[in-house]
């Protein structure tokens, strides 16, 4: 028996919706796209949603739409997926890495402030693992320094920030917000993404850029600016629409699974479990990531040994995330080997993602937990 790290939750309703599209002549830029965008915008109480081919494409277009390019700096967390930094590089701007908060694993606002220079144009607030970043603090910084706030909600659909100052769903606060629907996400379209916008000018620009620079309403061979093919097919949109309607059942199942793991793994000295509740936030569980005890993480191959023990029992694990400044693809462009962010480096050296998906059973979770507990006890 193999236990995967993630698995999509597809029902007969999704299969029927995709099949229905296949019986129509509209496979791209049709009614499913319009409906998916409208429903997604309504769910977030944001006026505009623009579907794109991936979260990465969404980040790229968000930066272009805000006019970010060469000579500009964009602050983002060092503890995140590489696509965030790559999108900044793709528009010719410089990714500037900030450190994270040890509890939420999100941007530490104090570190963000330290990184601001006259060239800073934007902050990308990633809602890592489905825990919202500190929206109040980051919006304050962005307003004070006249910066754009882009939310990367790829891992956090349905999460909420509710403080006395601001409240709403993750993705509803920034100038633009990006979502991703890869199959490991809470909802999937196979591949896909969405960008939320408050400003209709931004929405039009996003629609143009994702469709070869054709402004909405323009002819097929009328291109007002260089653009891309970042469209999302009708099949994907139909799938996404059904998934979105099921989010209200998906998120509680994932929250229960997280609670179950926390119960099973409680009481091990220095094994850090993810928080089940964080002030001002409603979480949307993306992955389940523990931090192994320091005594093991510090051993040469200590974490590799734990992974190997689980692998031998058919249990997949992941290392979300190595620090971006230690990725060979990025190292020099974000600071090189002399660059340090202590919290990111400490957390990254200890993380271990366990199998986690909407329909994971209690039996599977018990099996995984027992295997992990046994591996942690082996010296």
Ligand X SMILES: Cc1ncc(COP(=O)(O)O)c(C=O)c1O
> Which residues are near ligand X by CB under 6 A?
54-56, 80-81, 83-84, 126, 152, 154-155, 180, 182, 193
d(CA 177, CA 154): 9
Q: How far is the CB of 155 from ligand X (least distance, A)?
A: 5
Nearer to ligand X, 183 or 213 (CB): 183
Nearer to ligand X, 33 or 371 (CB): 33
- H/E stretch holding 354 reads strand 351-354
Which residue, judged by CB position, is nearest to ligand X in the bound state? 55
CA 339 to mean position of chain CA atoms: 25
d(CA 96, CA 112): 9
Nearer to ligand X, 145 or 160 (CB): 160
Burial class (CB in 10 A: 0-12, 13-18, 19+), 199: middle
Q: How far is the CB of 57 from ligand X (least distance, A)?
A: 7
Q: How far is the CB of 47 from ligand X (least distance, A)?
A: 23
Q: How far is the CB of 232 from ligand X (least distance, A)?
A: 11
Give every CB contact of residue 181 below 8 A, 6+ residues apart in sequence. Answer: 55, 187, 188, 189, 190, 191, 192, 193, 194, 236, 240, 243
Nearer to ligand X, 81 or 367 (CB): 81
d(CA 269, CA 266): 9
Q: How far is the CB of 152 from ligand X (least distance, A)?
A: 5
Q: How far is the CB of 179 from ligand X (least distance, A)?
A: 8
Nearer to ligand X, 106 or 291 (CB): 106
Q: What angle do CA 269, 280, 324 make, to 5 degrees?
A: 60
Which residues face 50 on adjacent strands? 195
Nearer to ligand X, 43 or 179 (CB): 179
């Amino acid at each position: 028996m193999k236990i995967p790290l993630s698995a999509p939750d597809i029902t007969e309703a999704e299969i029927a919706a995709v099949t229905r599209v296949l019986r129509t002549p509209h496979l791209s830029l049709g009614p499913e796209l319009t409906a998916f965008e409208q429903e997604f915008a309504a769910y977030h109480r944001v006026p505009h949603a623009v579907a794109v081919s991936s979260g990465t494409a969404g980040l790229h277009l968000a930066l272009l739409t805000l006019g970010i390019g060469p000579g500009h700096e964009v602050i983002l967390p060092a503890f995140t997926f590489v696509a965030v930094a790559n999108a900044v590089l793709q528009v010719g701007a410089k990714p500037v890495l900030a450190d994270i908060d040890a509890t939420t694993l999100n941007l530490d606002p104090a570190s963000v402030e330290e990184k601001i220079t006259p060239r800073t144009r934007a902050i990308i607030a990633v809602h890592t693992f489905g825990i919202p970043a500190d929206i109040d603090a980051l919006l304050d910084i962005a307003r004070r320094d006249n910066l754009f706030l882009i939310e990367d909600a790829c891992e956090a659909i349905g999460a909420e920030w509710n403080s006395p100052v601001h409240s709403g769903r993750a993705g509803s606060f920034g100038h633009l917000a990006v979502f991703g629907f890869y199959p490991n996400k809470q909802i999937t379209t196979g591949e896909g993404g969405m960008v939320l916008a408050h400003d209709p000018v931004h929405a039009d620009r996003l629609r143009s850029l994702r469709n070869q620079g054709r402004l909405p309403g323009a002819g097929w061979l009328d291109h007002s600016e260089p653009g891309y093919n970042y469209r999302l097919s009708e099949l994907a949109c139909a799938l996404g629409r059904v998934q979105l309607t099921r989010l209200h059942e998906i998120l509680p199942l994932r929250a229960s699974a997280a609670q179950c793991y926390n119960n099973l793994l409680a009481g091990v000295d220095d094994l850090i479990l993810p928080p089940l509740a964080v002030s001002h936030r409603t979480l949307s569980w993306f992955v389940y990531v523990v931090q192994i005890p320091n005594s093991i993480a510090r051993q040469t191959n200590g974490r590799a040994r734990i992974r190997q023990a689980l692998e031998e029992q058919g249990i997949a694990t992941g290392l979300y995330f190595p620090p971006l400044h230690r990725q060979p693809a990025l190292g020099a462009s974000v600071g090189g080997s002399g660059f340090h962010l202590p919290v990111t480096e400490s957390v990254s050296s200890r993380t271990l993602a366990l199998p986690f998906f909407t329909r994971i059973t209690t039996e599977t979770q018990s099996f995984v937990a027992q295997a992990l507990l046994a591996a942690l006890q082996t010296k």
